[in-house]
Chain A
Amino acid sequence: MTSLSIGPSDYVIICEGVSAREFDGEWIVLDLQGGNYFGLDDVGGHIWRAIGEGKSLSQIVASLRRNYDASEIELLKDVMLFIDELVERQLVRINRDVMDRPK
């Protein structure tokens, strides 16, 4: 696992060369460089969709709170761990460029 410096106001973007489709309620993510398929469960799929919509981590957590019974801190920790894993697999990256963030 990488040790990311990431906070609630950060944004994450899907890496180039990554393609994803929703199928049977699960997201299937394809890394076109490595040719590997990854499956995301219900929560993972929710986060993936929110990343695609350009939401910040805190916005992602807020949208999860509307659907799942867990505290904000718990959800934030889970989201960060999940994003850490996605970064490690080179499926997403943290968007540090303020100019490039969604308005």
Chain B
Amino acid sequence: MTSPSDVELIARLAQRDQAALTALYERYANLVYSLALRVVQDGRLAEEVTQDVFMEVWNRPERWDVQKGRFSSWLLTVTRYTAIDRLRGERSRAEEMPYEDALGHQPGDDSLSAWAEAEALRPLLAQLPPEQRHVVDLAFFQGLTHSQIAEKTGLPLGTVKTRLRTALTRLREQWEDRGE
């Protein structure tokens, strides 16, 4: 028997079908938790973020539709910003947590094509020069803008812009080249 598609499961959520949420959770919980953990760098906070994200899906399934692209990407976008919001809240109460690069872990659920595609991106990210990787980390995983990164790192604003643009351009080109 084939498992129900994301579209079918989301439609069932609108009928308040708890089994549909469980199915989505089992399909995507590791993806969501992994990204949340990458952003907040704290297991307990990552759990809270994961729970918030799935409750958002439960409470507002209509927020996603097929036209918005694949469900998992939408879910991860929500995860990233929920985690960044949570991180900002935590920062106001605690010292910033050290950045721990855990690249190289094996994916837990590899059934998703996008995840498989990102397999190639992960080492490319790790191979960036440290100064470029750091600005990508601050911008993407911590949600900081150009000027916020400059303020945080003490680097000139122009340097931050150049580093981020160079890093992202390099990542995109190398990622595309590997697919050819």
- Asked if chains A and B come from one complex, the reply is no
User: What is the interface of chain A, defined by CB distance below 8 A to chain B?
Assistant: none
User: What is the interface of chain B, defined by CB distance below 8 A to chain A?
Assistant: none
